[in-house]
Amino acid sequence: MSEPSFAALVSRWYERNARDLPWREPGVGAWAILVSEIMLQQTPVVRVLPAWRAWLDRWPTPAALAEDTPAEAIRMWGRLGYPRRAVRLRDCAAAIVERHGGEVPDRLDQLLALPGVGTYTARAVAAFAFGQRHPVVDTNVRRVVCRAIAGEPDAGPATRPADLVATEELLPAEPAAAALASAAFMELGAMICTARSPRCAMCPAESVCAWRASGQEAPTGPTRRPQRYAGTDRQVRGLLLAVLREATGPVPHQRLDQVWHDGVQRARALAGLVTDGLVEPAGEDSFRLVGDGPPMIPLP
C-alpha cells in the first residue's frame, strides 16, 4: 500500500482540526464566501468576523449591495483598513447584477473579470464556493509548499507563477478533494507552519517535509519590514475618513483641518482619498463620502 500523499495527510488533519469559521459552514453561498475573501485580505480573522456578519445582514445578496451607495459601503467597512476594498466590493456587486443576473459566476475567467477580484480571490471563490480544482495560493500556502516540497525556510515576499504550478501539482485530481486540500494547505500555514514559530511536532506532514528533513532553522527576522503607521499619510487618511463616515452631510474643510496638525500632509491625504474614489468635493469648500448625496452640479 502506498504512503498517503502530502495533500491527503494535510486534508485529514484539516477535517479534524479546522477552525470553526462561518464562511466554511455547509450551504454558505458564493456571495458570502466572496465577501469573506475580500475582507480577509491583510486583515486578521478576529476583526473580519463581526464585520462579515454585519455586512451580510445588511446586504445578503449582490443586488442588495448594488442598490446602495458607495458611501454606505465605506461606512459599513468601518475600520477594517484599506477602505478601497469596500468600493471595489460594491462595484463587484453591481457587475454581478449587470453581467450575471445577480448570481456570483462559477467560471474562473468570469470571476477574474469582476472589479476588485484578483488571481487569489477568483481561485478561492471557485474552489471554496464551487468545489473546483484550482491552486489557491496566499502567503501561508506559499510558505507551506516552499518548506514541505522545496525544502526552503521561506517563500519570499511575492507570489510567482511557479507558486501556482507547484501548488497545483499537489492537488488531488478529483475537484472536491482538491478544493478541500486547498483549504487545508491554507489552514496549515496559518495555524501550524507559521513564519517564525512553526509547530513542526504538531504538523501532520512532518514525516514528509523536505525542510524538516534538511534541519534548517526558521528565519529569525521579518521577511519584509513592517509598515510604519503612526504619522504616515495612511493614518491621516484614516482620521479624515472617520470624520466623513460619521457625518450626515457634507463636511466643511475647516472641520477636516482639525484632524491633523500638518496642513501639507493633510491636504495630500485628502487629495489621495479623492483620487482613490473614496471622497468627493461637495460644494466650494466641503467634502463627503463618494456618492453620499445627489450628483454635484459643476460650478460655473
Query: Judging by beta carbons within 10 Å of its beta carbon (0-12, 13-18, 19+), is residue 298 exposed, middle or buried?
Result: exposed
Give the three-class secondary structure for 232: coil
**C-alpha grid cell for residue 236?**
491621516
Alpha-carbon gap, residue 189 to 199, rounded angstroms: 10
What element of type H or E holds 280?
A: strand 279-281
Residues 6+ positions from 293 with CB-CB distance below 8 Å: 249, 250, 282
Question: How close are the terminal C-alpha atoms of the chain, in Å?
Answer: 81
Task: Check: CB of residue 178 under 8 Å from CB of residue 123.
Answer: no
What element of type H or E holds 180?
A: helix 175-191
Residues 6+ positions from 162 with CB-CB distance below 8 Å: none
Query: Residue 4 corresponds to which amino acid?
Result: P
Does 174 participate in catalysis according to the annotation? no
Give the three-class secondary structure for 288: strand
Among candidate residues 25, 37, 67, 169, the one labeled active-site is 37
Task: Check: CB of residue 142 under 8 Å from CB of residue 99.
Answer: no
Displacement of CA 209 from its chain's centroid (Å): 28
The CA distances from residue 195 to 143, 160, 163, 211, in Å, are: 8, 18, 17, 13
* CA angle, residues 285, 290, 296, in degrees to nearest 5: 55
Residue 281 bridge partners (DSSP): 287
Active-site residue set: 37
